[in-house]
Structure 1
């Protein structure tokens, strides 16, 4: 499929999605959100893809926010619909994807950009990255899950401070807060993400998908994380991956997971 705002590179078990709007610092508009949804959906359904890396084009920005020009004149009703549609189409969709998604934060990740990075399963940042939720400086609040995911990652107090001051934090602060897992020089960002992706790809994709569901369930008010874990654990026993994994262990060889 041809896209206007994103690039996809696929090599064996790894796919990299690059948001490609450099003149707009890769800001998210409606078309880009739709394209990202379609790309994630297609890659998740591709049995060959084991890990997805998400990044931004250039050296300045991962995603510098949402395209404000698209909603500056919206009514209350339209604003609510914008948030609901965006969460369903992209942010919640990525969080619940069975294929692991690593955010490679290569510069500014602000507003919707940070919200998108937080929806990914974990984050790696370049040393020049800056992160923040500046929405209150525009008279609005984060609407793509930022008020929920940020406290889960950094704690309520730090999240409140970041949201209410509308300020940015640097990569080292993000690492200290637990917002990102690793910080590396920008020229090493992609290679580290690929290294992590390679380690993930050695494991059972079916088990990883179940693990994602179980972990996410623990952060949902209407779910019992422990019960979800028990169900997912049991489901693994009915898979070919479980048979291969346990057999390989007993035979003292490396497992070759079929992904079934």
Structure 2
């Protein structure tokens, strides 16, 4: 894929890759970059060749946050008319699994982008933070909400009030990331993780993500009814027939996402 100025994209073996590509600015997220990320994700979401998406960052940091120079002179009316968070909302609507591979600094908007991923693999020396409080503002692309749901109110408030760094180990202990790997094998391990998912039935992955997202804002009873409908729906797929037939025949299934 081409035509992007702030990201690089590729597809291999069912894994689509988006790499943030402003290394000189530590991948600071300007509005154009977020729009490009959303465009690429939506394109991959529609592409039958893609099962899972891997998000990475070029250079020394995954992303050091929002581009402050771009927004420092904005006023509330300008921001309302810009409606910049509409692109962030597009990212949350992606139906395929999204894995983030993060390293270096993951700050502010970069942390919010990481938290928009379904699974996170982090290099061992990665540091996360929401330093917005030091700038007289606060997270605006879901940071207060997602961090609270993952780590709980008490820890979220501590980190949001102070802007202090969160180590990879703390992030793992508080359910923010899935696994820690050595920096030199981050790309390799994240790709292997993505490849493992890419071999699963795409419709199952899609509807599992859908049901888990539903669980975040419904009661257990409502969520179970939603889950059940997704369970029933998968029985109309060719992959369900193939998966169960392969199990009975003791062979490896060949999933096609249909």
When the two structures are superposed, what TM-score results if normalisation uses the length of structure 2? 0.94
Are the structure 2 counterparts of residues 187 and 242 from structure 1 closer, same or farther at C-alpha, using a change threshold of 3 Å?
A: same
Q: Give the whole-Å Cα distance in 2 for the aligned partners of 1:225 and 1:141.
A: 31
Query: What is the root-mean-square deviation of aligned Cα atoms in Å?
Result: 1.7
Q: Distance in 1 between matches of 2:58 and 2:124?
A: 16
Q: Could you tell me which of 237, 240, 247 is aligned with 1:239?
A: 237
Q: CA deviation at 1:93?
A: 3.0
Say if 1:249 and 1:255, in contact at 8 Å, map to a contact too. yes
Query: Following TM superposition, by how much is the alpha carbon of 1:227 offset from its aligned partner in structure 2, in angstroms?
Result: 2.5
Could you tell me how far 1:80 is from its partner in structure 2? 4.7
Q: Determine the structure 2 residue equivalent to 1:252.
A: 250
Alignment CA distance shift 1:28-1:171 (3 Å): same
Alignment TM-score, normalising by the size of structure 1:
0.93
**Is the contact between residue 115 and residue 146 of structure 2 (CA under 8 Å) also seen in structure 1?**
yes
Deviates more, 1:220-229 or 1:148-157: 220-229
Following TM superposition, by how much is the alpha carbon of 1:44 offset from its aligned partner in structure 2, in angstroms?
A: 1.3
Q: CA deviation at 1:102?
A: 0.6
Tell me what 1:171 maps to: 168
Which blocks of at least 5 consecutive residues in structure 2 are unaligned?
Answer: none
Instruction: Quote the Cα distance in structure 2 between the aligned partners of 1:228 and 1:85.
Output: 31
Structure 1 partner of 2:181: 184
Q: What SS is found at the alignment partner of 1:143?
A: coil
Q: CA deviation at 1:100?
A: 1.0
> What corresponds to 1:127 in structure 2?
124
Shift of 1:183: 0.9
Q: Distance in 2 between matches of 1:141 and 1:252?
A: 54
SS at match of 1:162: helix
Deviation per residue, 1:96-137 (Å, 9 max, x gap): 322211110021110010000001001010012110111111
